Structure 1
Amino acid sequence: MRVVVLGGGYAGVVLTDKLEDRLPADVDLVVVDETGEHLVQHELHRAIRRPEFAGDIVVPLDDIFDRTRVEVATVESVDRDAREIALADGTSLEYDVAAVCLGAASAFYGLPGVEEHAVPLKRLSDASQIRSEFEALAESGGGTVVVGGAGLSGVQTAGELAAFAREENAAVDVVLLEQLDSVAPSFPERFQRAVRDELDREGVDVRTGVTVSRATDEAVETESGDVPYDVFVWTGGIRGPDALDGERVDVRADFSVDDRTVAVGDAARVVDSEGAAVPASAQAAVREARVAARNVETLVADAREHEDGFRPRLEQYTFDSPGWLVSVGDGAVAQVGPTVFRGTAARAAKSGVGASYLAAAGGAREAVALLSEEFGAAGDRE
């Protein structure tokens, strides 16, 4: 019997780690990932200002797993009827149970010129390109960087670029555009206010209620007027992976797509056991994967015992966040329950979460480096 996990992101890594302990030893456990490496996506913005940090947020999948076979390949499609995965090199991989954890790609919503002119932030190569364009701009005398989208990724990117400009004494302005009326619009109001305060402290020009309509090679055009730019970064949304035709799979609280397939993490739009939509985030992906692992174990056991029959009873997932964390340049914001922290307390929380995650993923060296990088700066509790 073969269980295949598609993707080595947060959901894929945590799910596979749990399955190594849960599945019988004779089950062939395979992870398919196009790079063979796990990227700590929520720290990717750090590599813009600190390129040496890149080595601390990438962990080879072979270093994480014990019994899992890692296949480095790009998934082209999933045929659930045939239980077969088509790979870009023309080969295919059959499965008995599969978990789709392919993450998400940047969504450009068909806005003319945006995909052509903007740099997303999904890979280390994106961070490197943003850094190169920023450095060229600073060396030429300065200009403007526009970041589209003020979700957590956009907030972290804008904050990092503003801190970079200050650190280099560069005449570079950072403008953050958001269609809705607040930054971090999906989060609690107190958290939003603290994030906005940190962005203001970093000198980011935040413009909310601004809808992007198109982009040229000189300006981002909005319903409120043109915003000239020299560097354009887009973090304005997500879509499903190409292997799923750009769609995110709709799943209920047990993550099942059919009786042999589950979808977990950003590749899925999850509605939990209480009927609430689960936000696409690293935190949600990790928590979903723990429940999904138990459900995959159940599906495997059922597949071994019954060729056909009723779907087994699967565990239901309920999203219950312990809080939220975001870096903003040299600062940070954390919310635990109703309490919002900034400065030292927030940075300590962010460091602890990042380090413990890397350690759990088998990266003790990376955990130490992350702690060293992120501690510092005094601050206050709101």
Structure 2
Amino acid sequence: MSAVARPHVVVVGGGFAGLWATRALARDKVRVTLVDRRNHHLFQPLLYQVATAGLSAPDIAAPLRHILRRQRNVEVRLGEVTGIDTDARRLALADGDDVAYDYLVVASGATHAYFGHDDWAPHAPGLKSLDDALAIRRRVLLAFERAEAATDPAERAAWLDFAVVGGGPTGVELAGTLAEIARHTLKDEFRHIDPAGARVRLIEAGPRVLASFPESLSARAQRQLEKLGVEVATGRAVEAIDAGGYVLGGERVAARTVLWAAGVAASPLGALLDAPRDRAGRVQVESDLSVPGDPDVFVAGDLASVQQDDGTPVPGVAPAAKQMGAHVARAIRARIAGSATPAFRYTDMGNLATIGRMAAVVDVHGLRLSGLLAWWFWLCVHVMFLIGFRNRLIVLINWAWAYWSYQRHARIILGGKAGAGNRE
């Protein structure tokens, strides 16, 4: 079969699901076009480390073209999808071009969800991309600079008040690392403030942090957070957020740095498909991850709403996205061969979350760990999943340095106007 006659598979999104689908088709007689509005694959589980100055952006990201350079049946296209015409089997791109497909994989991920309060977004940024991480890092580091320059005690206290909204893994990781920065990393670096006096508050509307973990591990995680100096507030939802702070339980709190880790919504591309969606905007797919009524269109990763055999949803985590991507490749292979497409079966790889220096919780098939041993387990798993030897080596070196010195080498403030504050 000539290259021209080969079926054309278009994959939208270079995250875990899209990249794993693309790589799984490496030996198939197909043409693959990977479309993404960014030129890199991002290891999102370590994104908070960039936001808190522990790692640099290249440590957890790699150019898609470099990753796929040896896969000859792939073309990478930098572009943003603005339309999907399933009847004509074409994608419209923001630059005016379009891309025809025989099989389509939509794996564009998720974005922030503010539960109907989108006006909070400028004052409480979320963490989904490298741009988000760099903006948060700038906001956090500038808060200490503004506190150092402030002469009014109330203003200084507001700059040293940090709040993280959402007690899932991202929120826990952010809060624990912020406390470590304040109490250890910045020690002796300022002349008018004591960074260790900063208030770091983790706010969770539910009854406990890390709700996806067993209750015993949630309790241990909260104790470890509190040992780090984090104030944990559970059972109360934030009522308002603005440039000056937030309202919790009817109390107004002056805080100039509020970070959002409370919820996600599906990528807007899901709305371009003629398919049912759940409350979060995820596409409700068939058992083989195809779109109902259109067996040549698949949805994978955080954009897909998939039920397990026990009725519980497949979680929006990296292992699930990878498994979905690989499964879609198998389904396309079966479709081309004219055989039945298999149903997706999720293999639960367990839950892991780090809390701070040498502290984490792990729940893997009945193995429940916390503290130092859990932290080493978490570290090994995350380093091994990084793409490329260079990334793994750099992460290990940087973490070893941070362990012995408490320093975070990426504390450079970039972007924005000189002398500008957090609210521009």
SS at match of 2:84: strand
Residue 34 (structure 1) aligned with residue 37 (structure 2): yes
In structure 2, how many angstroms separate the alpha carbons of the residues matched to 1:313 and 1:149? Answer: 42
Deviates more, 1:39-48 or 1:323-332: 323-332
Residue 217 (structure 1) aligned with residue 251 (structure 2): no
On the 8 A contact 2:55/2:398 being kept in 1, the answer is no
Which residue of the other structure, out of 75, 83, 89, is the alignment partner of 2:89? 83
Alpha-carbon distance, 1:80 to partner? 2.0
In structure 1, how many angstroms separate the alpha carbons of the residues matched to 2:335 and 2:349? Answer: 29
Once the two structures are superposed, the pairs formed by residues 153-192 of structure 1 within 5 Å of their partners are 153-166=170-183, 167-169=185-187, 170=195, 171-192=197-218
Aligned to 1:275: 311
Aligned to 1:308: none
On the 8 A contact 1:47/1:127 being kept in 2, the answer is yes
Residue 295 (structure 1) aligned with residue 331 (structure 2): yes
Residue 342 (structure 1) aligned with residue 378 (structure 2): no
User: Structure 2 vs 1, CA of residues 287 and 227 (structure 1 numbering), >3 Å: closer, same or farther?
Assistant: farther
- Give ranges in structure 2 of 5+ residues lacking alignment: 1-6, 149-158, 188-194, 272-279, 405-424
- What is the CA deviation profile of residues 311-358 of structure 1, one whole-angstrom value per residue up to 9, with x for unaligned ones? x52222233323211121212222222232233322222222222222
Once the two structures are superposed, the pairs formed by residues 1-382 of structure 1 within 5 Å of their partners are 1-21=7-27, 23-24=28-29, 27-50=30-53, 52-65=55-68, 66-67=71-72, 68-111=74-117, 113-139=119-145, 140-141=147-148, 142-166=159-183, 167-169=185-187, 170=195, 171-245=197-271, 247-257=281-291, 258-302=294-338, 313-330=340-357, 331-358=359-386, 361=387, 363-374=388-399
SS at match of 1:127: helix
Letter in 2 for 1:143: L
User: What percent of counterpart residues are identical?
Assistant: 31
On the 8 A contact 1:158/1:174 being kept in 2, the answer is yes
In structure 1, how many angstroms separate the alpha carbons of the residues matched to 2:127 and 2:289? Answer: 27
| CA RMSD after TM alignment | 2.1
Letter in 2 for 1:214: A
Q: TM-score, normalised by structure 1?
A: 0.89
Letter in 1 for 2:172: V
- What is the CA deviation profile of residues 161-195 of structure 1, one whole-angstrom value per residue up to 9, with x for unaligned ones? 11111121313211111111111112322332232
Q: How many pairs does the alignment contain? A: 363
In structure 2, how many angstroms separate the alpha carbons of the residues matched to 1:44 and 1:234? Answer: 14
User: Structure 2 vs 1, CA of residues 237 and 120 (structure 1 numbering), >3 Å: closer, same or farther?
Assistant: same
In structure 2, how many angstroms separate the alpha carbons of the residues matched to 1:19 and 1:275? Answer: 30
Letter in 2 for 1:195: A
Deviates more, 1:176-185 or 1:284-293: 284-293
Deviates more, 1:74-83 or 1:149-158: 74-83
Letter in 1 for 2:86: R
SS at match of 2:201: strand
Letter in 1 for 2:179: A
SS at match of 1:20: coil
- Give ranges in structure 1 of 5+ residues lacking alignment: 303-311
- What is the CA deviation profile of residues 101-149 of structure 1, one whole-angstrom value per residue up to 9, with x for unaligned ones? 1000001122263113111111222222222222222122451111111
On the 8 A contact 1:97/1:299 being kept in 2, the answer is no
User: Structure 2 vs 1, CA of residues 78 and 272 (structure 1 numbering), >3 Å: closer, same or farther?
Assistant: farther
On the 8 A contact 1:351/1:374 being kept in 2, the answer is no
In structure 2, how many angstroms separate the alpha carbons of the residues matched to 1:86 and 1:324? Answer: 38
In structure 2, how many angstroms separate the alpha carbons of the residues matched to 1:212 and 1:248? Answer: 25
On the 8 A contact 2:53/2:137 being kept in 1, the answer is no
In structure 2, how many angstroms separate the alpha carbons of the residues matched to 1:204 and 1:277? Answer: 31
User: Structure 2 vs 1, CA of residues 334 and 80 (structure 1 numbering), >3 Å: closer, same or farther?
Assistant: same
On the 8 A contact 1:264/1:289 being kept in 2, the answer is yes
Deviates more, 1:70-79 or 1:187-196: 187-196
Deviates more, 1:278-287 or 1:190-199: 190-199
On the 8 A contact 2:166/2:203 being kept in 1, the answer is yes
Alpha-carbon distance, 1:377 to partner? 6.3
Larger radius of gyration: 2
In structure 2, how many angstroms separate the alpha carbons of the residues matched to 1:377 and 1:341? Answer: 20
